[in-house]
Amino acid sequence: MTNQPTEIAIVGGGMVGGALALGLAQHGFSVTVIEHAEPAPFVADSQPDVRISAISAASVSLLKGLGVWDAVQAMRCHPYRRLETWEWETAHV
């Protein structure tokens, strides 16, 4: 880890932290994202993960405003009409 001057430090580089960092940087702020490990690169022909993320219309609008929606759509993005969730221990399908 290196010491570097920054205006804003964001702890966590997941979807929310990444979007926040990008938006702030696009508005001229010096931003540092603190994450415990380097994220693995996206590999299009790798096996899909069992986890999914449902992205709302408001989130799509935000991602379009950040200029990244086209990149998101290119990464196994599919529309959905219905979504069911349940806890692993109490799953009854």
Could you give the angle at the alpha carbon of 83 between the alpha carbons of 80 and 89, nearest 5°? Answer: 150
The burial class, CB within 10 Å (0-12 / 13-18 / 19+), for 23 is middle
pLDDT for the residue 93 = 57
pLDDT for residue 29: 97
Domain locations in the chain?
Answer: 8-38+54-74
Supply the pTM of this predicted model: 0.77
| pLDDT, tens digit only, all 93 positions of the chain | 678 889 999 999 999 999 999 999 999 999 999 999 988 888 888 888 777 888 889 999 999 999 999 999 988 888 888 877 777 777 665
pLDDT for position 66: 98
